[in-house]
């Protein structure tokens, strides 16, 4: 499932009168920090709440347009790390379809836990985690991902 959000903000700042700053809330909770005395103008999208005044404001030009894609995965997946073989770091990518408690652990060939990379609640989404193995000897290792009832394991090769 893919959601697209378009954010259009029209703001022009002119020379600052003061070094003090004020936080201004734009639309649905996004905020910016501007120095007091700065001149700014909001376009037709969203509202700006704050006590900001000044002269020389030029309104109506689009300063930036951002398109954010939020991808909500349909299924649980753990991808092969890359690069593999690796030395000394690799990236482990995974996706979870629902918010859940996520743990990502590294094990050696004998099943001894080497390190826990993630042990926290995560929202649905696609994630990448860097694994730094600079203090480990060459060899084959396993990484195990658990998110809620889902569990998946893959192997990786550290070559010095």
| Domains identified in the chain and CATH numbers | 2-70 (no CATH), 77-158 (2.60.40.1930)
Q: How many CA atoms lie within 13 A of 41 on its CB side?
A: 15
Q: How far is CA 70 from the centre of its chain?
A: 11
Buried (b) or exposed (e) across 127-144, using 16+ Cβ within 10 A?
bebebebeebeeeebebe
**Could you tell me which residues come within 8 angstroms of residue 114 by beta carbon, excluding any fewer than 6 positions away?**
106, 107, 108, 136, 141
**pLDDT, position 9:** 46
CA angle 16, 19, 21 (to 5 degrees): 95
Residue 33 has pLDDT above 90, yes or no: no
Burial 52-87 (b: 16+ CB within 10 A, else e): bebeeeeeeeeeeeeeeeeeeeeebebeebeeeebe
Question: How many angstroms separate the CA atoms of 126 and 41, rounded?
Answer: 36
Q: Mean pLDDT for the chain? A: 76
Residues 6+ apart with CB under 8 A from 29: none
What pLDDT is stored for residue 160 in this prediction?
Answer: 87
Instruction: Give the pLDDT confidence of 68-119 residue by residue, as tens digits.
Output: 566 789 999 999 999 999 999 999 999 999 999 999 999 999 999 999 999 9
Q: Is the pLDDT of residue 52 over 60?
A: no
- Beta bridge mates, 49: 25
**How many Å is the Cα radius of gyration of the chain?**
24
Residue 51 predicted with pLDDT over 60: no
Average the pLDDT over 4-21 and give the result: 46
The per-residue pLDDT for range 125-151, each reduced to its tens digit, is: 999 999 999 999 999 999 999 999 999
Residue predicted with more confidence, 51 or 31: 31
Residue 71: the pLDDT is 75
Per-residue confidence (pLDDT) for residue 126, from 0 to 100: 95
pTM: 0.58
Which among 43, 41, 21, 42 has a CA at the least distance from the CA of 33? 21
Reply yes or no: is the peptide bond before residue 71 cis, omega within 30 of 0. no
């Amino acid at each position: 499932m893919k959601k697209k959000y378009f954010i259009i903000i029209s703001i022009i700042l002119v020379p600052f009168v003061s070094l003090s700053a004020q936080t201004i809330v734009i639309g649905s909770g996004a905020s910016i920090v501007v120095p007091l005395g700065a001149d700014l103008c909001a376009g037709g999208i969203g509202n700006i709440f704050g006590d900001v005044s000044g002269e020389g404001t030029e309104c109506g030009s689009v300063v930036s347009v951002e398109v954010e894609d939020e991808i909500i995965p349909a299924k649980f997946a753990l991808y092969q790390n890359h690069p593999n073989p690796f030395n000394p770091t690799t990236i482990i990518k995974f996706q979870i379809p629902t918010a859940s408690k996520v743990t990502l652990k590294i094990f050696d060939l004998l099943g001894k836990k080497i390190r826990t990379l993630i042990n926290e609640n995560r929202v649905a989404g696609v994630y990448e985690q860097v694994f730094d193995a600079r203090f480990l000897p060459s060899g084959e290792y396993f990484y195990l991902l658990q998110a809620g009832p889902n569990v998946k394991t893959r192997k990786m090769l550290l070559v010095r």
